[in-house]
Structure 1
């Protein structure tokens, strides 16, 4: 995520896992299709909860135990990509998540389009070989038109290497519209609740389905969670995360109101899976 400069993680066995500021986890509750509609069953489809997190392993279990369970997690080993060697502890966590039916995506920073393509492609190969992970979350996406060929090349490589894989992009703001044809999901807001209240959605975004967009809202007081979720729905976000975390790393733990957030986001709706 773009909020902070992320350190590399030197892993030495299980002890290093506790120093989990380099783990990124994105959790999506429910299936695709946003917060309304859907075929089969009754009631609206559950809102998708996205949890960008740099936190200790126990939060994996807490997030995965949510009802409905998460659909997607993003694994970040180093703060940049897959690292130089597989980490057994993370391999076990990925297997557990996949056994629960969760799709795990591998984190790779593009450094605003300045990271060499070959390094990102190496992340794609290593996540697949070491963790059985084929979908990719590209972070620090520039969102600028001059980098469109760079990101199109990366997305093409991922899809060719792993047909059916997802490509998530995180510019953190609404990018040049050409990026919408590159990513399966684009994270178009990442900021504080105060910033979110004042945010403006460009007119072109309304022509895309909610499933194409993710919003991440941090420094959100408990009293404002309902309003944040309402705004996200009104603004066409199919993937949403709300947390009271703040500071240089607002994702180091689940929000203090995690159970209530899950209930608020998914109450009265159905899990389409």
Structure 2
């Protein structure tokens, strides 16, 4: 697989300046632990592409009224809610994945699914293809996101609405490279999740996302503490600032 460094959009052919950047929220903590955060996401204004609902490492074992209320507020505001379905890098059984998806639909009326810890090699393409094809039979036009966290085999692009092609730290992101095959697809197909990003580098990070052709982002100053913490569970400390910058566009 060929890669290009984070060069301007005119070089890669992916970063058209009229693409509207917005947020894909990987999964805020349970509404009981983060009520203000869920309330903020439902507020009019922030350009939200979707929000992932992760009840308890998935849909949980029974309907949760707090999650139902939080998801309902977002959906009433016109924001997509996606259920998190763990693939465990292809190890988790197909039947378990589909059962999780069905529970999300039955209990929370989600608009689609994020397949977390999605494998990225060509050998697992048939397995993920089968999973996505089945998910698309469960409801009309579900929005499906594959969270690889890295550039996968290009064949995955034909399966889902969006791919998460970067998920990691700011130190890695600022030196990241983009796979050449992504230039064949519009920025609306790609997502980047970055943690540990200082406030002073917001403009740089936004430009990297645009240069690499990703219009759905989630940047936060929260850290994973070497894998001991979930950096996505709360809002970034500079939420208002980044909302303001995306709302007014990012200069090239």
Shorter-chain TM-score bucket reads 0.7 to 0.9
Equivalent residue, structure 1, for 2:181:
204
Equivalent residue, structure 2, for 1:184:
161
- Is contact 1:36–1:46 with CA below 8 Å preserved after alignment? no
| Mapped partners of 2:107, 2:233: distance in 1 | 25
Alignment of 1:84-233 (within 5 A): 84-233=61-210
The structure whose residues are more often strand, as a share, is: 2
| Mapped partners of 2:97, 2:22: distance in 1 | 27
| Mapped partners of 1:129, 1:151: distance in 2 | 22
Alignment of 1:248-259 (within 5 A): 248-259=229-240
Equivalent residue, structure 2, for 1:65:
43
Equivalent residue, structure 1, for 2:3:
none
Deviation of 1:164 after TM superposition, in Å, equals 0.7
- Is contact 1:35–1:46 with CA below 8 Å preserved after alignment? no
Deviation of 1:134 after TM superposition, in Å, equals 4.1
Deviation of 1:53 after TM superposition, in Å, equals 3.5
Unaligned runs of 5+ in 1: 1-33, 38-43
- Is contact 1:35–1:48 with CA below 8 Å preserved after alignment? no
| Mapped partners of 1:54, 1:104: distance in 2 | 12
| Mapped partners of 1:71, 1:97: distance in 2 | 11
In the superposition, the TM-score normalised over structure 1's length comes to 0.79
Deviation of 1:50 after TM superposition, in Å, equals 2.0
Equivalent residue, structure 2, for 1:267:
248
Aligned match of 1:53 in 14, 21, 27? 27
Q: How many residues are treated as equivalent by the alignment? A: 229
Deviation of 1:66 after TM superposition, in Å, equals 5.4
Q: 1:190-237 deviations in whole A, cap 9, x for unaligned?
A: 111111111111111111110110011111111101100011001100
RMSD after superposition: 1.7
Bigger drift between 204-213 and 49-58 goes to 49-58
